[in-house]
Structure formats: structure tokens, C-alpha cells
Amino acid sequence: MGIGAGERLCKYLYHRTIKNLGGITHHLVPQTELAEMAHPFYNQFARGGEGHLEVGKNVYYTVHHLCHMVLALKPFGCMPSSQSDGVQSAVVNKFKDMIFLPIETSGEGEVNAHSRVQMALGEAKVKAKTEFEQCLKSTGKSLDEIREYIAEHPELKRPFYHVPHREGIAGTAAQFILHVNDRMNKSGRFLHRSRVPGIALPNAV
């Protein structure tokens, strides 16, 4: 009962904090849900740390499109993480678009780790850029038009401005483009400009 009460209190304080910050981060995912998602690959009862949760988080982030890349950073010789790393190969084989990189904090492997991270980040950047371009194209607007609207609305430049999450979209920049597009369509400003020859109407019109 004490553990359950402590968990509920921690969850309440965390969610209250992110609410006061404008909802700029994700809500906590129930550990039971992560364990269930990991169970096909890693038996949740074979515990000894967060090995099964690492697998569950990787699957959760990929299925719900919350990121382009998962980096597992752990101390050298961590047994639960070493076990989960072995299981992650089966996870990556099932989810072909997943980018997963395990890194151990060992001093002698610093150069090798830096090189591996750079390679994985390169792949993630390509995915993020492709997603951004697809979202921009779907709006029917140019990047200059988006930037002009942002320049006229300073609240969009605030660091704590809440950008609504879109299902199937992982990148914050891509989500931001779609959000600004919705605001422009609601204002009716772009609809008026779209009557000018040579400018295509957005799909929503």
C-alpha cells in the first residue's frame, strides 16, 4: 500500500508540474503497459532492474511515433541493460524503421561511442528532415509563408509554447509546421492570398 501511495503521489506531482509548464512534455507511461509491450520479447517476470522496461520503452516510442531514434546509455557492465541489449536485436528485426543504439560509459571506448552516435544521429536526421518536408508539402504553403506568419505572432517563438502532438508524427518541427498551418487556415489569411494566380490551395480548402 505504501509503494502504491508513493507511486500515485509521484505521478500527481509530475503531471501537475508539466501542466504548469504548459504541457511541453509527455505524460508518464504506466510501467505495466511498458512491461506488456516488452513481454513478447523479454519476459517481464525475469526482473533484475529495468531491462524489460528498456525494451518496452523502445517499442512504445516507436509504435506511438514519439522519436526518430532511441539511445540507451548505461554504465559499463550493467547486467540488466546487457540482457535488454541482446533482446533489442529481435525488436529491431520486427520494427524495420527503428533506430536503436546502446552505449556504455566506459572510458576506453569514448572515441568508438562518439563515432557510433554520430552515425545513428545522421540516420535520425534524414528521417526527421524527410518527415518535415512531407508535412510542409501537405500544407500547400511555402516555408517563407510559414516564417512570415510566425514573425507576426511572437507567442509562437516562446520556448514554452505548447505544440499539440499529432499521431504518426515524431518530429517537433514537423508538428510545429502542421500546427502553424492550422492557425493560418483558421485565420482565413492564407485563404485570401490563395486567390492569387500561381499559388496552390491547401488540401483542406
Q: Does residue 199 sit within a domain?
A: no
What local confidence, expressed as pLDDT, does residue 148 receive? Answer: 92
CB contact set of 168 (below 8 Å; sequence gap of 6+): 65
Mean pLDDT of the chain: 82
18-32 pLDDT, tens per residue?
888 877 777 888 888
109-136 pLDDT, tens per residue?
677 778 888 888 999 999 999 999 999 9
- The number of distinct structural domains making up the chain is 2
Q: Does residue 129 sit within a domain?
A: no
Residue 100 φ then ψ, to 5°: -125, 135
What local confidence, expressed as pLDDT, does residue 198 receive? Answer: 40
Q: Does residue 198 sit within a domain?
A: no
45/89: higher pLDDT? 89
142-178 pLDDT, tens per residue?
999 999 999 999 999 888 888 888 888 989 899 999 9
Asked if 142 and 100 sit in the same domain, the reply is no
Residues in the chain: 205
Domain boundary, last residue among 105, 121, 146: 105
Asked if 33 and 96 sit in the same domain, the reply is yes
38: domain range?
Answer: 29-105
Q: Does residue 156 sit within a domain?
A: yes
Domain boundary, last residue among 89, 105, 121: 105
Asked if 149 and 88 sit in the same domain, the reply is no
Burial 89-123 (b: 16+ CB within 10 A, else e): eebbeeeeebbbbbbbeeeeeeeebeeeeeebbee
pLDDT class of 108 with cuts at 50, 70, 90: low
Asked if 34 and 80 sit in the same domain, the reply is yes
Q: Does residue 76 sit within a domain?
A: yes
What local confidence, expressed as pLDDT, does residue 104 receive? Answer: 79
Above pLDDT 70, what percent of the chain? Answer: 88
What local confidence, expressed as pLDDT, does residue 128 receive? Answer: 93
